[in-house]
Structure 1
Amino acid sequence: MTDPLRWAGYAASFARARERTGTDESVVWERAKIGDHETVVIRFEFGFLGGSVGTRTGALIEQALDEARSHRLPVVSLLSTGGTRMQEGVPALRQLQRIARGLVLLRQERLPHITVARHPTTGGVWASLGADADVVLAVPGAQVGFAGRRVRPERYADDPAYTAENQYAAGYVDELVAEEAIADRLEVWLSLLTGASQNRPADLPRALGALDPAPDGWQAVLRARSADRPRAGAYLDDYFDTRVTLRGGADDGVLCGLGSRGGRPIAFAAQTGTATTPGGFRSATRLLRLADRLGLPVLTLVDTPGADAGPAAETAGAGNAIAELFGTIAAAEVPITTLVIGEGGSGGALALCSADRIWLTPDACFSVIAPELAAGILKRDPEEIPALADALKPRPEDLLALGVIDGIAGPEPVTFLR
C-alpha cells in the first residue's frame, strides 16, 4: 500500500480490506474469454474500501490497458466503486488522468471498450473509465452517477436521477442488463464491435413500400409523408439478423446501433420520420466515429421533414450538431451507404447522407426545402404548393436525372463489391 497523507488508521483499514476480499487492491485485471472473444477484463471489488481508486489503482488499470494494446484485445470494465480514495488525497485523485490517458491510447489503437456499471458506480471512475466507454451497460437498480450518495445534498439521497434507469432514459447508458445476463450480452456486443473483416460497403436494403413511380412531385411528397409507409424499424428488422442499439435522448428522431447481416457487423443510423433534434445528430456523430475507428461499414436511413427548427433546438446548438455530423461523414474512412426511405428534408436529411453512395426508395422524395416553406419564402398562395413541389423535382426519377443520387432501390437488396 501507499500512504502519502499518513492518514491515521489507514494502514489497518487497508489490511482488513485485503484480508476480507483476498485481493491486494480495489481493482484486479486479467485476460479472459467471453464466449469466443479473448479480452482484458478490469474488475472493481467494492468490498475493498468501497472500490475506491488509490495511487496504485491507476497503475493497475494502466497495466491492463497496456496489455490490451500490446495484444490487440478489447477491454471490458466491470465497475463497482465509490470514487477516489480520500485517505490518499490528491495523489489518488490524479490517477483519473492516468486512466483517461490510457483510454485515449486504447482508442488510438482502434480497440473497443465496454463498461458495465454495477451497484454503485459513482465519482471519478464513472466520469473516466465508465461514461467514456464505447458502449455503456448498466445493471437495473444500480446507483450510477458522478455524485455519490454521501456527497450529494441529503434531500437528493434517494433521487431517481442517480440511477441506472435514469442514465438510460437520458441516453448515457446504452443497455440495462441484469447481473445474470451480463456475460451473454457482453458476448453479443463483442461480436459486433470486433468483427470488422473488409472495407466493403454495407449492402443496400431492398425497398419495402410502393415500387411504382409517383406521377408528380406533390404526390411524391404526400406518399413519403404517408403514415402507412414502412419506417426505419421495418427496414432495420428486414435487413439485420440481430441488432443492438446505442442510446441517444428520447424522441431525438434517430436510431443508432450495430447489427449483424449474414454474420457481418454493420453500423447504422436511421432517422425515424420526425424532425431530427441536435441530440439526434450528435448520436449519429457518435455512431459514425465509433464505426470509423473500428472499421465497420455504415448504413444510414434517411427519413425526416428536416432538422428541428424550434427555439429549444436552436439553444441546443442545431447548427453546430449538424456541422459536426457533416464533418464526421466527410472525414470517414469507412464506406457509408445511404438509402432515403421517406421524406428527405433539406440539410437535416443531407447531414446523414453518404458523400458518394445515395439511393432512394420509389416512395421517397428529397428536396432542398419543403414545398410549404418554399411557398412562404416566395410569398405564394397555398394553392400553388403542389406546383412548387413539382418544380422542386423531389422524385427519385427527377433526382437520378439530375445526377445527384446513384439509383432507385428495388425489391431486392444490392451488394456493393467496393
Structure 2
Amino acid sequence: MLELLGFADFQVDMSPEPEDGPIGWPGYGEAVRAAVARSGASESVRVGTARIGGVDAVVIAFEFKFLGGSLGRRTGDRIEYAFHRARELGVPVVSLVATGGSRMQQGMRALTQLQRVAREIALTRAAGIPQISVLLDPTTGGGWATLGAGADVVLAAPGAQVGFGGSRVRPADAPAEAYTAEAKLAWGQVDQIVAPSELPEALGRWLRLLSSPGAAAEPPAALGSADLPSSGWDAVQAARSASRPRAGAYLDAYFGWRAEIRGDRAGGVDEGVLCGFGWRGRAIAYAAQCGTATTPAGFRTAARLIRLADRLGIPVLTLIDTPGAANDAAAERDGAGPAIASLFEAVALAKVPITSLVIGEGGSGGALAFAAPGSTWITPDAYFSVTSPEAAAAILKLDPAQAPAIASQLRLRPQDLVELGVARAVVPRRP
C-alpha cells in the first residue's frame, strides 16, 4: 500500500526503553525483538510523506504485525512528530489505521498516548489542516477513538472490524456485525467504504477536494420550469410536483464530480440530506435537502459539513427543499430542537461564503436553517414560507379548504420573496 502512495519515511529519533518496558513487564523485550523480526518494522507505526493525487501529505501507517499495531510510548512519539511536521509543512494528514488498541505491556504509559494523539489532532484541526483516516482490519480501541474517528473524513476497507471494543473484550452476546465498517457506515460514523485497489484514487480525490479553498459559489441555474406562478397555491403545487428536478439533479449538473460525507457522527444518517464536496474547477462544499422532512441527523450532518468547510476555507452551497423539519416523536427524542439550533449556529458563525438556493419546498424553520442570510436565491418552481398553507390553516383554526387562499396571503411565491428581501433573485433556467 505505502509503495503505491510513494511513501518516504521520516527519520524519527527513537528514545531507548528499558528491556522490559516502562513498567517492567516480564518478557516484553523479547516480544519486541520478535515483532521486529516478524514485521521488519522498528515500531507499530511508520510516519513519512507521500504525494497522493498531486497533493503532498504526511502519512501515518500502522503495522499490525508489530504487536497488533498497539500504541506504546514510542508509537506516540512518532505520531506526535508526524502531526508536528504536517503543521510545519501545511499539508494534510492521512492515517492508515490497523490496531488493536493500547499496548498492555506498558500499562498506563501506553494508554496516556491517546491524550497525546488527541492533542495533536486538535492542534492540527485548529491549524486548518485536513485529516483523513483509512480504517483497515482491525481498527479497535483507542486507535479508533482517536486517529480513526477523529479525522475529518473517514474511509474504511470492506469488511474491516471497527469498534471501540475489540473482539476479546466485548460482551459475549454482542452481534459481530455491529463491529464492522459497514455498520459504521450505516450509522453515520464512516463516510465511505473503499476497496484497497481504489484507495490511492479515492485518497487523491479527497485530498484535492479538502485542499482547495476558494471564493463564493455562484447559485446554480434553474433546471425546471421557467414560468413564475400566478398564485401562491400555484407556487406550492409547482414545488410539490413529482416531475420537478430534485437535489441530485442539481448537484450532478453543477459539479464535474463530487464525494459525499455521511452521517452526524452520533449514530444518525438522514438519507434525505446530501452533504459533501464537489469539484467545479475548484472545491465547493454542499449540503442539500432532497424533498423529505429533515431529521435531527440531517441537521447535524449539515452543521458538520459547514464547520469542516469553514475550517478549511472552502465555500458552501446549500440547496433547500423540505416540507419542514421532522416533528414526530422519534425526531423529538433525537433532539430536533438542538440539532436545528446547531445548524443555525454553524451558518451564523461561518467565515466562508455560503450560497443558498431554494429548489422546491421551503417549509418553515427546517428550511430556513439551511439558508444563508442575505445570500439566498430561489428557482421559479419553488416557494419559501413561514409554514405550509395547510399548517397555517390549522394553527389559525381555519377551514382546511382555505389553504389555497392562505397560500397567496402568505406571499410565498418566488417573486414575492424577492420583493420582501428574503431572496436576492429568481435564478434563470439553465440554457
Regarding TM over 0.5, the answer is yes
- Tell me which residue corresponds to 2:94: 76
Q: 1:237 aligns with which of 252, 271, 280?
A: 252
Q: 1:256 aligns with which of 267, 271, 275?
A: 275
What's the CA shift for 1:178? 0.6
- Tell me which residue corresponds to 1:371: 389
SS at match of 1:212: coil
- RMSD in angstroms over aligned alpha carbons? 1.1
Matched residues, number:
409
- Tell me which residue corresponds to 2:225: 210
Matches within 5 A, 1:272-291: 272-291=290-309
Report Cα offsets for 1:109-162 as digits up to 9, x if no partner.
100000000000000110011101000000001101111111112233x62010
Q: For 2:259, give the aligned amino acid.
A: V
Partner Cα distance (1:251, 1:77) in 2: 27
1:159 aligns with 2:176: yes
Contact 1:53/1:92 (CA < 8 Å) preserved in 2? yes
Partner Cα distance (1:180, 1:403) in 2: 51
- Tell me which residue corresponds to 1:336: 354
Q: For 2:218, give the aligned amino acid.
A: D
SS at match of 2:173: helix
What's the CA shift for 1:22? 1.6
Identity over aligned pairs, percent: 57
1:131 aligns with 2:149: yes
1:178 aligns with 2:202: no
What's the CA shift for 1:252? 4.5
SS at match of 2:167: coil
SS at match of 1:147: coil
Q: 1:146 aligns with which of 150, 164, 171?
A: 164
Report Cα offsets for 1:253-289 as digits up to 9, x if no partner.
210000001x210000000100000100000001000
- Tell me which residue corresponds to 1:119: 137
Q: For 2:208, give the aligned amino acid.
A: S
Partner Cα distance (1:155, 1:304) in 2: 41
List structure 1 runs of 4+ shifted beyond 2 angstroms.
Answer: 249-253
Q: 2:57 aligns with which of 21, 25, 39?
A: 39
Partner Cα distance (1:279, 1:390) in 2: 33
- Tell me which residue corresponds to 2:7: none
Q: 1:43 to 1:34 in 2, by over 3 A?
A: same
Partner Cα distance (2:317, 2:26) in 1: 59
Q: For 2:189, give the aligned amino acid.
A: Y
What's the CA shift for 1:315? 1.2
Partner Cα distance (1:412, 1:254) in 2: 24
Structure 2: unaligned runs, 5 residues or longer = 1-16
TM-score of the pair, normalised by structure 1: 0.96
SS at match of 1:302: strand
Contact 1:25/1:48 (CA < 8 Å) preserved in 2? yes
- Tell me which residue corresponds to 1:416: none
Q: For 1:302, give the aligned amino acid.
A: I
1:270 aligns with 2:285: no
Report Cα offsets for 1:36-90 as digits up to 9, x if no partner.
1111000000000000001111111000000000010100000000001111011
TM-score of the pair, normalised by structure 2: 0.93
1:189 aligns with 2:206: yes
